[in-house]
Amino acid sequence: MAAATVFPEAPFVHFRRVAHPRVPNRWPHYRSDVLAKLAAKTGRELSTVTSDLEYTLAEPRPGYPEHHAVAAGALLLADQLDLGGLGFGYEMGSRWLGGGRYLWRFTPDNPMWSPHGRWGRLFAAAGVHLVLPVGGVSEAVTMRLALSSPLREQVRWCLRGTDGPCRNCGKCLYKELIQAAVERRPLDTPITADRPVARKYLKKPPYGGQEMIQYGLARVPGIENTLFAPALDYFDVSEESTSWLEHCYPPALEEIPARWRAQAAAFIEANVGLMTESEVRRVESWGSV
Ligand SMILES: [Zn+2]
């Protein structure tokens, strides 16, 4: 939704899973139907693509379509919709910091999302460029932008809840930490430290989305009295030491294809601001110290 806010005129293509006749659905609690309804409520021009493509994947097993697979519908509709690029909401953690999914270090040559990587070149060769309008800002910033946008009511990070985020899954816990930090309020979660989704914070880092864990530890009032307290032992964080996560890493704007760069840069400069030299070094030394 943050990426969509940068380009308010862009149409949406929603990739919606449908059942496969033979492969069982191992994640029936992932509510793609709820996301389809939210997409329809945005009022944007919307194409919903129904597909069982994800069931053809061996790894990851059928869950919810992700990564470049969600682009399949948009690629097939590219001529009809006259698309020149596909915007994704991947933020700095995924694009530049290794995300926690693959590795925890600065990744200028990220094979998934850099324009000069395998996928970026393949998409560009097909005439549909990968565009990451918010690739230079942290999840705290994308959350702030999304929640202060006209799309606020359709923001949803949980694939389980029907009337809102479920508040009980690991993703809801992680996002609650970020939202509490953004809103400068105490943590509000029904999850207790004995729950499996909370147990990882009793162990040593690295954690997925570690930069946002540090950001939350530095900013959420009363964090020392929550299930995140054990993680405080592993980091020496402060608002100052995490303030680089409130600004945009400039090379992320430079790598946006020229056709969309000026609009994205103007939005980011007006609503976020660019990193200083020392903040840029925080990004580029991530995982090496
Ligand atoms: Zn949830």
Residue labelled with tokens 């690295």: 206
Question: What share of the chain has pLDDT > 70, as a percent?
Answer: 95
The rounded Å distance from CA 274 to ligand 1 centre is 32
- Residue 76's identity, in one-letter code, is L
The rounded Å distance from CA 251 to ligand 1 centre is 33
The rounded Å distance from CA 110 to ligand 1 centre is 28
Burial readout 246-259 (b: 16 or more C-beta within 10 A, e: otherwise): bbbbbbbbebbeee
Give yes or no for residue 16 having a pLDDT over 90: no
Q: What is the pLDDT of residues 129-151, one digit of tens each?
A: 999 999 999 999 999 999 999 99
Sequence-ordered alpha helix ranges (H) in the chain: 2-6, 32-41, 72-76, 78-81, 92-95, 118-125, 139-147, 170-183, 196-199, 210-219, 250-254, 258-271, 277-284
The rounded Å distance from CA 61 to ligand 1 centre is 20
The rounded Å distance from CA 163 to ligand 1 centre is 11
The rounded Å distance from CA 226 to ligand 1 centre is 18
The rounded Å distance from CA 171 to ligand 1 centre is 6
pLDDT given for residue 61 in this prediction: 66
Confidence category of residue 26, pLDDT binned at 50, 70, 90: confident
Sign of CA dihedral 176, 181, 187, 191: positive
- Residue 167's identity, in one-letter code, is R
- Compare 101 and 279 and report the one with higher pLDDT: 279
pLDDT given for residue 63 in this prediction: 65
Give yes or no for residue 257 having a pLDDT over 60: yes
Average the pLDDT over 6-29 and give the result.
88
The rounded Å distance from CA 116 to ligand 1 centre is 34
The rounded Å distance from CA 174 to ligand 1 centre is 10
Q: Which of 48-62, 153-167, 189-203, 221-235 has the weakest average pLDDT? A: 48-62
pLDDT given for residue 208 in this prediction: 86
pLDDT given for residue 69 in this prediction: 81
The rounded Å distance from CA 146 to ligand 1 centre is 18
Average the pLDDT over 264-286 and give the result.
97
pLDDT given for residue 215 in this prediction: 98
In terms of residues, how long is the chain? 289
Q: What is the pLDDT of residues 95-123, one digit of tens each?
A: 999 865 556 799 999 988 999 999 999 99
The rounded Å distance from CA 170 to ligand 1 centre is 7
